[in-house]
Chain A
Amino acid sequence: MTPTPPGTRTGKDPATDATGTRASRKLTERNWVGGSFAWIWLIVVMVPLYWLVITSFKTQANYFVTNPLKPPSEFTFENYQLVIENDFVRYFVNSVVVTVGAVLPATLISFMAAYAVVRGATSRFLRWVNGVFLMGLAIPLQAVVIPVYLIIIKMELYNTLQAIILPSIAFAIPLSVLVLANFIRDVPKELFESMRMDGATEWGTMWRLAFPLTRPALVTVVIYNGVLIWNGYLLPLILTQSPEKATIPLALASFQTQFGVNVPAVAASVTLTTVPIVLLYAIGRRQLVSGLTAGFSK
């Protein structure tokens, strides 16, 4: 709400326009409603996560007697050992196969579609296709799982990892096309023109011009879909059956039944499944956040 341009670093950059900076600093400091809420929200977000991590290092006996928010007096890795011994690695590999197997093709074909939709904005067919994709944003996966289940059975893919991969690709398409098309649309028309003057084909233009320029959006789409598919629960639940094909979210639910009141072991299983995705986030954070903001705020 302060009149600070987005790029300005209030407080760190006194050299810029004196009056503007002074005014904005004053206002920034007075925004205590938003400020205090932001800190309260940080606590709300962090307490369950903190609890999860410290609990995962407690022994079961220790867990029942200590203050739940106090770190363990002695750390134990027993819980992690227990989870890993219970086929965690297999579930992890399944999740990696499903996620990579769905995200890469989904991103590739969505990029091609987004390019076509932007470049062919005058074609009635492509406008119609784009309309179908946009409509797809409103189709909840939950509503169509029964026919998807039927199709997968008919394709004789039930209880395979492909059964999860194929619908995951399809349901990643609408949003990916939307986000990527928004980025490609921002590429100056002159660049396309000059590529054409140089005799580049549409495929060449797509790979050599649009692809590098869209890279930030592509990374965003990869991370976004990756998180979504990695965390998917419904498709694995209805399309697979045997524990050998379980992905991590399904495995979590079964760990919970298996470990029951052994809360530290449950906490360790949740922590263990969360670490890879948080690491990924740590690497691609800036990209993901800026890409998402741009993709949705328009």
Chain B
Amino acid sequence: MTTLAPPAVRGQEPTRSRGGRSGSVLVWMVLPAFVMFVFFGIVPLLGVVLLSFATWNGITPTIQLTGLTSWKAALTNPGLVNALWVTFLIMALSWLVQTPLSILLGTFMARQSRYRGFLAVFYFIPLLLSSAAIAITYKSLLDPNFGLGAGLGIEALNQDWLGQANLAIATLIFVVSWQFIPFHSLIYQGAVRQIPQSMYEAAQIDGAGRVRQFLNITLPQLKYTIITSSTLMVVGSLTFFDLIWVLTAGGPGDATRALAVQMYQLGFQASLMGPASAIAVILVLVGIGLSLLLRRLGGRADESQMEGV
């Protein structure tokens, strides 16, 4: 970005020089977003690492660097293992439930045209509702005394869905799926539409049935999309906070107390910002680790995204 290139050079290499000039304009264009993101994204990311080596109650202005004290407190907190386990459980179960159903729905929606438009209108609605709204709706709907189960008089439905540890996790997974399957099926719908028709025509000539076509063409062609969708799902599940907070507040007991909930309770309720920051660091590391792992699994997924396929 040599803005002061001598005139002679500019005359000789007009393209490069012009590239250089517009280059500096482009830097100005990128700057507002970059500064904003660095200030509220990158700096806090470094800040949380720093705070995890400090002691702060979140209220008074004194923040003291106290080395590993907060880490020790966070790691020896008996709730941590549980929070990690709950987080993993929510992540794994919601992936296992959402992925096959999203692929199924997405594939269906990509090809069916008579009902597709109609169905898609309604599928999308859960995505518009806030997690708080969804959690409140389900809380009332599943109420053991006045909810759907009690009102309809169906014994199997009449459970204390949020009051028992196993049921609460299952309910949470259901609500998460209710909220996000539409989104992921939309991603798959778009991806299925991009698969060249010639592949299916060739398979049909070879006499491959629909199941064979799905297994041998659709699924392999969806590889990168599965990686993208899974990354969003997995990293997203680390951040379930509002839904859990409003739905169960981490309970019953600590059955649904995932890392993000644990962090909020330690930091903003127990005023232990140091240990809470340590948990936040763990959250970031798990998130980045999982993204990298999924990207590795996807091979050149990143590159294909850059080129726009």
Contacts and interface: CB of A to CB of B under 8 A. Distances in A.
Given A45-B178, A142-B260, A146-B273, A136 B141 contact: no
A29 to B, nearest CB: 10
Contacts of A97: none
Interface string A5-43: 110111110000000000100011011011101110110
B105 A149 contact: no
B144 interface: no
Interface of B: 1, 18-19, 22-23, 25-27, 29-30, 32-34, 36-45, 47-48, 51, 58, 63, 101, 104-105, 107-115, 119-133, 136-141, 143, 146-148, 151-152, 178, 181-182, 186-187, 189-191, 193-194, 197, 200-201, 204, 210, 213-214, 218, 225, 228-229, 232, 235, 238-239, 241-242, 245-246, 260, 263-264, 267-268, 273, 276-277, 280-281, 283-284, 287-288, 291, 304-305, 308-309
Given A46-B122, A140-B235, A248-B130, A256 B136 contact: yes
Contacts of B140: 55, 263, 266-267
A293 B186 contact: yes
Please report whether the interface of chain A is mostly helix, strand, loop or mixed according to DSSP.
Answer: helix
Contact of B51 (A34, A150, A227, A233): A150
A261 interface: yes
A252 B283 contact: no
A294 interface: yes
12 contacts: A9-B113, A38-B105, A48-B137, A51-B141, A109-B33, A140-B239, A144-B47, A146-B48, A169-B40, A233-B241, A238-B264, A270-B133
A11 B113 CA distance: 9
A277 B101 CA distance: 26
B268 A69 contact: no
Closest 7 CB pairs of A and B: A293-B190, A34-B108, A147-B47, A170-B40, A231-B130, A147-B44, A297-B190
A126 B30 contact: yes
Contacts of B191: 297
Interface string A165-198: 0110111011001000010011000000000100
A269 B123 CA distance: 22
B128 A67 contact: no
A35 B193 CA distance: 17
Interface in A196-243: 196, 201-203, 206, 227, 230-234, 238
Contacts, number: 331
B47 A38 contact: no
Contacts of B121: 285
A123 B22 CA distance: 11
B283 to A, nearest CB: 4
A68 B281 CA distance: 45
Given A113-B30, A126-B23, A267-B140, 6 more contacts: A113-B29, A116-B26, A123-B26, A141-B239, A169-B40, A296-B187
A148 interface: yes
Contact of A10 (B114, B232, B238): B114
A270 B29 CA distance: 41
